[in-house]
Each structure stands twice: as C-alpha cells, then as structure tokens.
Amino acid sequence: MVQNETHNYRVTVKNYDNASTAGDVLSQANGQEFTTKDRDNDNEEDINCARRLHGGFWYNRCDREQMTKLGITAAGVDNFAWGQRRLRAARMYLTCP
C-alpha cells in the first residue's frame, strides 16, 4: 500500500509470496517514503539515493536493491537491476488507500 503525497508516498510492504521466483527485494523498503532527485526522503544523511542511482524509489539506504537502479554492462547502461537479475523493462502495481 502507498500513502498519499502528504505522507511522501510512504510504502507498506506485506503479503509477499515466498514461492515467487522474482526475489524479495522490497522488504527493505517497508515504511520508507519515496525519494526522487528533488525530494530526498531516504535514510542516507549526506546522499540523495535517487540522484546517485539515477531513479526514484523507496530507498532505505543507497546500497539496497531497487527496481529503478540502472544496470551497468560492458556495453554501457542498458537495463534495470532487480536483486541479481537484469531487466529490460519492469512494471509495478501498487494499492493506494
């Protein structure tokens, strides 16, 4: 569930399907507010994770996984990282109250 703008789109993560093969990289985001390049709501004191990692997300810390982190390959940046997987595209469906 994602709260409204007043709460900086704070996310609540629950009911993860442990049988999923996608891997649970969202549990670290539970309770976090959404961070963008112009709204630093992550837990890093001197770093804006969205600027550092080139995309907004519910960052706890910059060293954690997130769907919008760009993957770097020998040929350059061409995909997203999701745990140990590399994705060409991703969709996320959220429930908002």
- In this prediction, residue 1 carries a pLDDT of 83
Total number of domains constituting the chain: 1
At residue 73, the 3 state secondary structure works out as strand
Of 7 and 87, the structure prediction assigns the larger pLDDT to 7
- In this prediction, residue 44 carries a pLDDT of 92
d(Cα 24, Cα 82) in Å, to the nearest integer? 9
Look-up of token digits 């061409």: 78
Give the pLDDT band of residue 5 (cuts 50, 70, 90): very high
Q: How far is CA 85 from the centre of its chain?
A: 14
> What are the tens digits of pLDDT across the range 25-47?
677 888 999 999 999 999 999 99
- In this prediction, residue 80 carries a pLDDT of 59
d(Cα 93, Cα 29) in Å, to the nearest integer? 15
Task: List the CATH number of the domain containing 31.
Answer: 3.90.215.10
- In this prediction, residue 26 carries a pLDDT of 75
Count of residues making up the chain: 97
Domain that holds residue 26: 1-97
Q: How far apart are the first and last CA of the chain?
A: 7
